[in-house]
Structure 1
Amino acid sequence: MKNIFNKWWGTASVFVAGVAMLSSCNKELPQPTPIVPPTPSGQTITQLLAGNAKYSILRAAITRAGTALTFNPSDASAVYTVFAPDNDAFIASGIPNETVVGGLPVATVASILNAHVIPGVELKAADLSTAFPNMYLQSGLVLSSTPPIPYRMPVFPSRRTGGAWFNDIAIKATDIDASNGVIHEVSRVFFPPSQVIAQVAAANSNLTYLMAALQRADAGPPAGAPQLIPILSNAAANLTVFAPTNQAFQNLFTAMGLPTAITTINALPTQTVWGIVAFHVLGSRAFSVNLAAGNSTAASIMGVAQQINVTGGTVTVRGPGNVLPTTPATPYSATVTAPNINAINGVVHVVDAVLLPQ
């Protein structure tokens, strides 16, 4: 297996405007008329929320956050897209009432609310893309304002046959118009992640074999290939990782006739391990709700396509090498057992088998 990954790694319009010459003959040129934007009419986002009892917890959260918010829903001159959790959404997410909101730290409440707002954009349901990869938009939650990479928490609204989504959260009501933007009602609260993918994996005791494989791969990647842990640690990246469990690695080693101990990973060639691990990473964020029903493919960062199947809500994925010596004509698939683990720079789906690109 050690050499199979080397062969694939390698790789104004000018507008001219004519200038019209004006002869005045002592005539005074007309003065330009100022363009005055129309005054917004109707209710602001604040007024719409205030007029509906089902948003009482959200109103309490806005009050609790106060000046820590990066948006002002009362500003009639602003434009926002708000993905608004109603009371049922807060309750489903473990925040049952206004009293609980009032007991949360201000910074926590503000970060949650800021992540539900896209400032400067009025995004209607018809504007949501049905294509994949999803729309990549920045929320009002500032992750870093320090040069050279100031950035905010990205969010991924989308529309599919089964409905509209805010990340992996269902949108249950769309296009509630306000004078300063639009509200889409969501079914759960989005809790912004605080870790990148590498940290998520390192903190999961069921992914210790994967972390060992990442470290082994980075000890000697193919010529010109990047190390993987820095990629998974890049907060500005946008990735999907299908993460095999410890048992998944042990099952693979058993099928290969190797010891099931984690030390087996360090006995494999580094380039082989790099190719296997890189095959589990997609270069875009794919929540389970964004994957097409039936069969589809998605290219990994190593260039080899994964085969993905979605049937009745169950997601399976496999690679060209996912066959057993005893049944070479019947490829086996990895099943997603824990989907949509959010990270700052992507999403992790835990799977029960190791994917093999070759």
Structure 2
Amino acid sequence: MENGVVHVIDGVLLPEFSLPNVVEAATAAGLTVLLDAVTAANLGQTLLDAEAITVFAPTNQAFLDLLAALNLGSLQELVAAVGIEEVTRILGFHVVPATAFSFDLAEGAQTVPTLAGEDLTVTRTGSNVTVTDARGNTFNVVAADVAIENGVVHVIDGVVLPTANEPDVPNIVEAAEAAGLTVLLDAVTAAGLGQTLLDAEAITVFAPTNDAFVNLLGALGLGSLQELVDAVGIEELQRILGFHVVPSVAFSTDLAEGAQTVPTLAGEDLIVTRNGNAVTVTDARGNTYNVAVADVEIENGVVHVIDGVLLPEENLPNVVEAATDAGLTVLLDAVTAAGLGQTLLDAEAITVFAPTNDAFVDLLGTLGVADLDELVDAIGLEGLQKVLGFHVVPTVAFSTDLAEGSQTVPTLAGEDLTVTRTGANVTVTDAEGNTYNVVVADVAIENGVVHVINGVLLPTL
């Protein structure tokens, strides 16, 4: 040829393609929400610098659908709701650290790793490709094989989500601390129950507020938790606390409508009642309290905060045990001599005015006898039974049950006894006009109450 030479070849020569980077490709496709999300998560440079990537890029509508499902109005609200780290994790779940054009995929389903550290399921059916996320949602590839500098972009019609990022759940101690239940924590520590609750496989805890404990202490005339421990003993405190713990998990939504009985660690049943969204608990003594804060999830169950301290059945002594604890040895000897022990134990309801040992010593001195045997010789066994019966009222009368002033009450001796209350003071007057003081009132027993008095009451003999 005139100005050079021609060589005939068997192919078409192509210049080097000028491919867009991932940001340019997303911009060209109008994926503005994805670009905003990548900018917010500061992932742009990471994607640009990656050696090889496959990006499953959601459309703007895909993001709008996700926001609507979460009841959010904007990308900024999503960031505020889940945190920037979670947004970063979601975006990373759309990026595979290798290049995979649609024609590189095997027919059928395959799992591929992502920058989020979780696998994504990609399925090719002929020329169609879908992606399924960790929560089972499946979306379509609507624009495949957009080549970029370091890989490929596939546009998809949904936002793929990794596994739910469960929030940290506190243990029972942490939950109580967060709720400010300091008295309950002190009680659990005093009872040595902390590790038991932490190690339990499944528990529901009805947790009293600080005010609930203060109200209990006030009702018992006690000033502190230590005074409660001193009064009832550490075993009883453990029993009370155990009565607040159900050995299974019961969120309020798990409860049936109406009343149900549930077992507790105290070995007694608790009554739990649900009325709509309101839940109450009723203890063994008939006290009913409200669940003020429900469904606080903990590592091994749930906590419901309540406005009262639940009490199990009273673990009361019988009359013989109460007299033994009070050191009323002469009274016990007299009851044994008179054969009245079983009668008192079997009685349905009694109030016993129990003389001190000194009271019996004073009576023996007044009668000029040396001991209980000489007293029996002097007045006879029936006389002793009548004297003792005159100290027993066949009904339960705590000092708070008495009317102000004088009242007569029947006794097992068949004669009335005069009982007088003056404010907090109580006296008893016998058939001979002798008046004695109640020196220790209101000792509860299984079938009634004992009041310790400083004299022996005498009926008509």
> Whose radius of gyration is greater, 1 or 2?
2
Query: When the two structures are superposed, what TM-score results if normalisation uses the length of structure 2?
Result: 0.39
Query: When the two structures are superposed, what TM-score results if normalisation uses the length of structure 1?
Result: 0.49
Name the structure, 1 or 2, with higher relative contact order (CA <8 Å, separation 6+).
Answer: 1
